[in-house]
Copies of this chain bind each other. A is one copy, B any other.
Amino acid sequence: MGELSPRQKHILRLAERQGFVTIDSLSEDFGVSAQTVRRDIIALSEAGLLQRFHGGAGPIGESEAVRLDHEHKAGVAVEEKRRIAEAAAALINDGTSLFIDVGTTMEMTAKALNTRRGLKVFTTSIRAALAFDASRHEVRVLGGRVAGRDGSLVGEEVVLALSGMQLDLALIACSGVDVEGRVMDFSLSKITVKQAAMRAASRTFLLATPSKFGRSALATVARVGDFTEVIDGVAPSVASQVR
């Protein structure tokens, strides 16, 4: 991602100086097709340097820049997580109501879901909430106590809110899946939330990188077999390969 073509840099500069740029004018200025400009803008917006809109792009707001810092730090197993995110997104249709759990995998899934639209999203992850495009989906944060730097919300309020819900789907993350097929996590308060979300949803996906398998943690969330699908980004997503 470190590579920016001269043209992309130029687009960035123009956007910052003029406040906004249109695809048409850029296409004319640079003497390339609109599609090429569009590709540049897509690359820049994915890098978080520019904000897209219909017909062009504008510079990113100042508060946005802060967010980027953090995201670049979250560089562990990015590729694997992205594959999982894409695989999960591929299984989710427009209009689905879903819960999304806490974690960087979930944040990537949130981004991947911005190609969908009209989702009804409920989450306990502040960061995932920010990753969603609020103009494409109806994103709701469940009120609760902020548990730590990962921006997770826990507490009675969360469980209570979830207990009264009926959702299509819950996307769940975990700390590890032990050899007995127990899905485990280190945080008791988060486990309570995960379990509540699973009860509220008619389908449940477990999203876990391959490295999570064979590792145990503090306490059990559920059994692998309790999930509708297990998505590890490697095998084609079929339910319960582990048992």
A residues contacting B by CB (< 8 A) are 16-20, 22, 24-25, 51, 53-56, 58-59, 61-69, 72, 104, 107, 126-127, 129-130, 132, 134-135, 138-151, 153, 155, 157, 161
Contacts and interface: CB of A to CB of B under 8 A. Distances in A.
Contact of A141 (B59, B65, B144): B144
A66 B16 CA distance: 8
Given A141-B146, A143-B157, 13 more contacts: A19-B64, A19-B68, A53-B56, A54-B55, A55-B55, A62-B72, A66-B107, A126-B126, A126-B130, A139-B146, A141-B141, A141-B144, A142-B143
A145 B135 contact: no
A109 to B, nearest CB: 14
Contact of A20 (B25, B58, B134, B141): B58
Nearest to A60: B149
Contacts of A139: 145-146
A138 B144 CA distance: 10
A17 to B, nearest CB: 6
A161 to B, nearest CB: 6
Q: Which 9 A-B pairs have the closest CB atoms?
A: A143-B143, A19-B19, A54-B55, A19-B65, A139-B146, A20-B20, A54-B54, A20-B58, A134-B146
A66 B13 CA distance: 11
17 contacts: A19-B64, A19-B65, A19-B68, A20-B20, A54-B55, A54-B56, A58-B58, A63-B127, A126-B126, A126-B151, A129-B151, A134-B146, A134-B147, A140-B145, A141-B143, A143-B143, A143-B157
Contact of A145 (B61, B65, B138, B147): B138
